[in-house]
């Protein structure tokens, strides 16, 4: 048994959750936010049998797409605005952790 922790962008979370539910995976959804952009994410906690881990990761990957976004860099001066061009960064996708589980109960 494994615990899959998947951090997914808010924009993709509904589709990812729908698709993994359709494939008969059970997930717990937590609303979280990222550190870099402070953007909204969803963290999914999913208990899964060892033989279905690859299937689950494939589903998450197919429905968590990366995209680019323009962001305005933060000012480095305290009392003066720093005017600089927006920077293009990559957002989205998913970060997935797979952990061994010693015991798993559905009560």
The residues, ordered by sequence, that sit 6+ positions from 61 with a Cβ below 8 Å of its Cβ are 94
Q: What is the pLDDT of residue 82?
A: 60
Q: What is the pLDDT of residue 96?
A: 96
Dihedral sign of CA atoms 82, 83, 88, 90 in order: positive
Model confidence pLDDT, tens digit, residues 53-106: 999 999 999 998 777 766 666 655 556 566 677 776 666 688 999 999 999 888
pTM of the shown model: 0.77
Q: What is the pLDDT of residue 93?
A: 81
Task: Provide the β-strand partners of residue 89.
Answer: 69
DSSP 8-class letter at 50:
G
What burial class does residue 48 get, using C-beta atoms within 10 Å of its C-beta: 0-12 exposed, 13-18 middle, 19+ buried?
Answer: buried
Contact between 5 and 43 under an 8 Å Cβ cutoff? The reply is yes
Contact between 7 and 93 under an 8 Å Cβ cutoff? The reply is no
Q: 1 vs 6, 17, 51, 57, 104, CA distance in Å?
A: 16, 20, 9, 15, 7
Contact between 1 and 46 under an 8 Å Cβ cutoff? The reply is no
């Amino acid at each position: 048994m494994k615990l899959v922790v998947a951090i997914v962008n808010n924009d993709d979370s509904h589709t990812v959750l729908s698709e993994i539910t359709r494939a008969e995976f059970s997930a717990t959804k937590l609303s979280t936010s990222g550190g870099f952009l402070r953007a909204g994410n969803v963290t999914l906690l999913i208990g899964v049998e060892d033989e279905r881990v690859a299937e689950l990761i494939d589903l998450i990957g197919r429905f968590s797409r990366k995209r680019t976004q323009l962001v305005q860099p933060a000012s480095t001066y305290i009392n003066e605005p720093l005017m600089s061009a927006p920077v293009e960064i990559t957002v989205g996708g998913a970060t997935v952790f797979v952990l061994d589980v010693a015991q798993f109960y559905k009560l």
